[in-house]
Amino acid sequence: MAELQALIFDVDGTLADTERDGHRVAFNKAFADAGLDWDWSVELYGQLLEVTGGKERIRFYLDHFNTGFERPDDLDSFIVDLHKKKTAHYTNMLAEGAIPMRSGVKRLLQEAREVGLRLAIATTTTPSNVSALLQHSLDADAEGWFEVIAAGDIVPAKKPAPDIYSWAMQQMDISPDVCVAFEDSE
């Protein structure tokens, strides 16, 4: 058996419980800013989490839960703008300390660093969301703890496809048999 060399972490739901009281709340604030009467309840958001990615989640919501919404001519731009507003709200929530790391995460990361394990992040959330979470919930220089931060749309297929993990391992020049991934999706 190969010796463990690296730990690769997902972010949302793994490093921090960001979904229900973070992203969902930020989406609802963005909807209100845009003059939309949409409200994603905890129950609805649980269903929407079957779709990976915020922009993809908005589109899925329109296709399956709000089919009567009169779509703008440029739906893609509308979704991108709405997602940017959501990200701004989410970042503000992080800056206010509203979304802490899960219990034990900071200790795990510190101890892994102390024994020389390499660290990486593999997530489909935006790079700005990752930066804000690490800086406000861990440490001002926490981004530097990670050799690779694979975030956003850098790969064609989002989770549960393994593309983001494959990309991170490729950047680290390591194979799967020397890594442990921490992930909350299947």
Structure confidence at residue 125 (pLDDT): 84
Q: Which pLDDT score is estimated for 61?
A: 98
Please report whether residue 151 resides in a domain. Answer: yes
Task: Confirm whether 1 is domain-assigned.
Answer: no
Residue 86, Ramachandran bin (φ over 0: left; ψ between -120 and 50: alpha; else beta): alpha
Q: What is the CATH number of the domain that holds 56?
A: 1.10.150.240
| 154 shares a domain with 138 | yes
pLDDT attached to residue 17: 86
Residues 57 and 85 in one domain: yes
Respond yes or no: is residue 12 known to be catalytic.
yes
Catalytic-labelled residue, pool 12, 63, 153, 173: 12
Q: What is the dihedral of CA 87, 141, 139, 99, to 10 degrees?
A: 10
Residue 145: the pLDDT is 97
Query: Of residues 10, 17, 73, 177, which has the active-site annotation?
Result: 10
3-state secondary structure (DSSP) of residue 99: coil
Catalytic residue at 141?
no
Domain match, 33 and 82 both:
yes
Residue 133 contacts residue 16 (beta carbons within 8 Å): yes
Assess whether 10 and 55 both reside in one domain.
no
Q: In this structure, which amino acid lies at residue 81?
A: D
Same-domain pairing of 53 and 42: yes
The pLDDT tens digits for 16-47 are 988 888 999 999 999 999 999 999 999 999 99
Residues whose CB falls within 8 Å of the CB of residue 122, separated by 6 or more in sequence, listed in order: 8, 9, 10, 150, 164, 165, 167, 168, 181
Domain boundary among the residues 95, 113, 133 is at 95
Distances (CA, A) of 117 to 3, 4, 86, 97, 133: 11, 8, 34, 28, 21
| Helical pair 75-95 and 54-64, crossing angle rounded to 10 deg | 130
Q: The domain spanning residue 172 has which CATH number?
A: 3.40.50.1000
- Distance of alpha carbon 112 from the chain centroid: 22
Same domain, 107 and 158: yes
pLDDT tens-digit profile, the chain (186 residues): 689 999 999 998 899 988 888 999 999 999 999 999 999 999 999 999 989 889 999 999 999 999 999 999 999 999 999 999 999 999 899 888 888 899 999 999 999 999 999 999 999 888 888 998 999 889 889 999 999 999 878 888 887 889 999 999 999 999 999 999 999 876
What range does the domain containing 86 cover?
19-95
139 and 69 together in one domain: no
Measured between its terminal Cα atoms, the distance across the chain in Å is 24
